[in-house]
Structure 1
């Protein structure tokens, strides 16, 4: 005796919703990274370079081929000093 297909419809709907949400979250992460795939296993150097790229281009994954920094970049230093040293 076979299983009626109506009993399998909820499982199909659940699997479809899981697939839709996984694809949607993946697309959102890709859009947030400027159209590039998400980075995994970042170390301190990668985070430093990505922070520099974010300050130069506005995107953490953005890169530029300009040899000179844009105006105002010299004041956009990630290192913070105490007020008594300023």
Structure 2
């Protein structure tokens, strides 16, 4: 009886059982890094914005129409040509 207890206590864990855990940890790391990179590309390399209100959304839409990028900003004191016709409001067709 003592021999059986001693042999079970000193039995090593086969390394083959740890391979799936290593694969799972690696895949979580790959997907997390991929999501971080994609979010950084979408934000133009800037940190993501939190707690956006309506004013922030309107200004981000204006910046997108001015620069073509949601997070881009320009320092020009005049709008580019054609921006006066670039209205975000959509008109409804008249009922007649």
TM-score for the superposition, normalised by structure 1: 0.88
Cα RMSD (Å): 1.2
What is aligned with 1:64?
A: 74
After superposition, the C-alpha distances for 1:42-82 in whole angstroms (9 at most, x for unaligned) are 11111111001000100010011001000000000111223
Distance 1:35 1:27 in 2: 9
Higher normalized contact order (CA 8 Å, seq sep 6+, divided by chain length): 1
Deviation at 1:9, TM superposition (A): 1.0
Distance 2:59 2:12 in 1: 60
Gapped regions of structure 1 (runs ≥ 5): none
| Bigger Cα Rg | 2
After superposition, the C-alpha distances for 1:14-61 in whole angstroms (9 at most, x for unaligned) are 111011111011101111211112222211111111001000100010
Aligned residues: 84
Gapped regions of structure 2 (runs ≥ 5): 1-10
Distance 2:79 2:91 in 1: 22
What is aligned with 1:21?
A: 31
Distance 1:81 1:14 in 2: 52
